[in-house]
Structure 1
Amino acid sequence: MSLVSVAINIYKNQLTNKKKKQYQKQQNGYNSRLGWVFVSKDFTKETTKAVRTYGSLFNVSKDYTYFTPNTFYRNDLRRLSTLRWINAMSIDIDVKNGENEGMTFPDVQELITEAGLPMPSLIVQTPSNGFHVHWFLEQSKRASDKLNAHYSRIQTCMAEMLKGDVNAIGPERLFRLPTDENTVFHSQERVSFDELCEWFQLVQEQDQQDVHTYKKGFCRGYESLLKHPAVQKILEGVNKGQRDTACYTLALAYKAAGYDEKTAEAYLHNWNQKNTPQMRQIEVKRKVKSAYNGRFHAPSAKKIRELSGMLFSYVIWEEAKPREERTYSHIQEWEGDVLAFVRVQGGRVSGSQRDLAEQITSSVDANKKIPYATFKKVIARLEEQEILSKKVSGKGRGASTELCIIDEVKARRTQSEASKKEQDAAPKNNGLNSNTIKDTVVGGTALSRSQGKEFARSSEYSILNLPSTSSTTLQTAPIPGNVPAAFTSALFNRGFTDGRFIFRAWGKVQLAFKEFDISYRSISSTPPYIRLSVEAIGLTVQKNGSVISGDFKGEDVFFKYLFGVMKGLFKKHRSAQLTHFVEEIERLSDVMLSHVGMELEDTLQKKHVVDRELQVAKLRELEHEASARQRRKHYSNHAAFDLTSSLNQFKLFMKTED
């Protein structure tokens, strides 16, 4: 993620596009909404500079290394007392003096997940292999003594759980400027400050019971969502006043767990029978339809806590959506479309700006046109980067704008980067920085401009070599594009950066799945299977070492173990799915049991089924359950008939005696 994107996402209207003239300040007065951003080459006052416009920030970023995510109302003093806006919660995970040695990006993901924290917005890796983790706030908070103190308390708690630097605390802190080279993760996620306060309160309540009990209320993923005690409590039925919210929340839980709309509705009709009083069936149907057609893809952790009265939290690391699935395109993607349009016209185009905007469409959807406001922003950005020139002649409605590409090299690079981002649907994992220069300040020592350029060139055209193993020495090869990004990252961030090694490892995973008749294409398109493959990499590295830790035992041993572990994990996964299915059907009514059976039969008639063996096993278990119910009914009816016959005979005997 570039500094341009980060700055716009964090600061929004706190910075201006251009500096105000003195007479404008005198006429309009000073704007209390704006704030100053401090940048620094290190942590000494002499090298700190304050900027208030986007242009100034982008210009000085070439010579400066650090920045403040939060802004100040004074340009001469970076202090807690001069803070104006709090825009982000930021944590410094340091790797110094033996602390966190060997920590990788997946380790950071695991720490965030275990802590029950929301997904971060940005993670930057420092040259010393430390990490700066940022959560951008949905709404900036006006700084105050009370808020600043609470911010520091939450930040300290987060740092403790993430093994971060508890001394690097305070909203006035400097952090490393993000670049395309040091950004290892970014997302469109935002978090409210209230949500962080709730998380902090939850941890405090749990810490009063046990230092490590915060994990008890944590749900690891969507697959285990329905098994969590808090959700199970809601599934036992709720009272009047909670039914609508509970029904909608459970529908979202079924949706997140992978159930289709019909199955979820069937389960919730069965659940409704436990409520006091029951909802109308039409209301259940409406809630399910609203959940499946709405914009939410998972239930609210807060609602689950309220309905169950139990501790509950979860976070899911998701891949970013590809451009064709998003409602809005990123501005970098529109840059590529604008340049493509100008290039088709011979590198020069003229006309009114609105007419030009009407002719530019998305590269992935010809029916989607660039918004006029976005068009103007893109032109301004391309002008600032000296890629495009803009010349306006005339005034008013008769004005004509001429656009011309003036730097073809930059233009092609920009368009190529935009195209690459469209194709890459996963979070950006740039791997490990090989320049592990010893830090002299918190956050790592900055590379000089010449070092940075040299590293950028070497990173773009070469890949780190793996050490020689018992087999042939691996030759450098590009990372294969047909291997899932999460799997690639799991290896890359542990030092396995050669494309051929990654491709062979993925081949072993595919062979393991083939043992269970799972097709190759089904693996990449099924998120639980990708998560299993990443877990298999972690277990294999624990046993056979990695390049980054220096205890790698060789390719052959690694691949053999990976194959066996992958088989074992999938077998366990399938068994757990079948067990869960059996538990579910035991609670269904006879009508719903028949309905699920028909759906399974319909599924098996399809040409492509992800896990046909599992579906067959499910149908077999369902038939066993149906047969068992028939036997129980038969025995019950037979016993009732015998009892009636005995009573009749007894009555006849008594009459005879009389």
Structure 2
Amino acid sequence: MDVLGTQNISEAAIVAILHHGLAISRFKHSRLPASEQRGDRPTGAVFLTRSKEALQEAVGFVSTSQEAILDNDSCSHWTPNIFRFGTYKNPNRHVISGHSEDNLKQINTFVVDADFGDHKPSYSVDLYHKFIVTLDDSQTEIWPTILLETPHGYQAYYVLDRPVFVRRHNDQFPAITAAKMVSEAIRTAVAEQLPQVDPGANHFGFFRKPNEQNVCFFEPSLTHDFGGLLAWAKRLQASAGEKDRVHFRVKQADQPWFTALTRAQVSRGDGMLGRNNTLLTLCLAGYSSGWTERDAYDYADQWNSGQREPLSDREVQRIVHSAFSGKYQGANAHYIAELTAAYAPDAAKPIGNQVWRKHAKVREDRQYSHLREWAEDLVKYVNTKTGREADYLQITTRELRSQLGISSQMLMRVLHYVADLSLLKVVRKLGRNGGLSLATLRMAGRTVQRNKRTSGDAWRFFLDGLGISREGTSEKIDQLSLWPGNHAWSGP
């Protein structure tokens, strides 16, 4: 089963993420037609859980086929990146084991999680644009392939065009190290526009599984080249060298803000940063101040015990381990400022052994002049390629990119633009014969009038069949229309 052969958008998203890294059908008791059970049977495993509560206790199951994943639509979380194998810790086969970095087989996607707490905004094109990352050349952008809605926020999937395969080299995993650098760069860039991004989430752990209710956006052509992403992440790392850092002699753990956050009561998250990010920041301060990981756990356990809404011990251990993983040098000034403003507003600004990095200004929503020009070209192309009686233009995104000489990222932006301004009606159809249906307002108007005439004829035929006079019915006939009164212009 490929992306075009799937029946709904969530299945298409899952297939696009997996990159054929698992067998198509179950090894036994497959319900797929024999013609779809062909092909190789690659080895690998994906872990799934049915709820967040089950995930916290590592209760779930292992899937080794794409069919099994698609059949378990009720699962809330999964590992979109594929592991070499999966197993269970208990005889009842409930507690899963094997979802660790040293067991990764292939990396399919990077995921950014934004948690807004109780103030989650509704999905909009503007919100989606905040997950777009502009590279350092200011011309290339990284667009999320998929955007999912979660109970308290959104998760953006940046799917690779080809998976990265993990191999051990001298007891090291170079691919994982490189992938973490890319993932960290993407999260940092998105966090400049959305401070609700969770920087401490496991890069290759569990995320929300796509389903028909939570997919807000999906465009299978928006995939990304890992080599280009890695080159960009390396340039970012180089630009954040010693010239962009200022070191102080006082340890972070000795600063007033550290003491204030230690004493603060922190909620789960009120739309900004919450318990997880606060504890990670505190542990990073301890790490930069020379603590051992054991010291940090003792501190974190005591801090957590004093909270009115404590985290689970498993989550505390995960946060401490993340702080001492070597991915960070210390607590970040951006998060210190956000956390102290939210939970310890009287705390002094950080003055200690802080590693300061220059941050770009928050990227404003930009309306490039050439965006309007592309929109004009698109409308003109639709008018040129359709006859006077045509209802719409049916075309694939690949053909449209070729005809206009436009990149896939810019095309998606232009389609959003023309749909928002009602310049065109844009409808996307998935499936083997899918593509784009584009209609101008004039085409839509002709459709309305034609449907009115058809409805009117049907109404007259109905009245004739009942033997009812047509007098006085003209107003009713004019009111009939198959077109919605509030024109719902759908984006791609």
TM superposition score normalised by structure 1: 0.34
Q: Higher helix proportion, which one?
A: 1
Higher relative contact order by CA 8 Å / sep ≥ 6: 1 or 2?
Answer: 2
Higher Cα Rg, which structure: 1
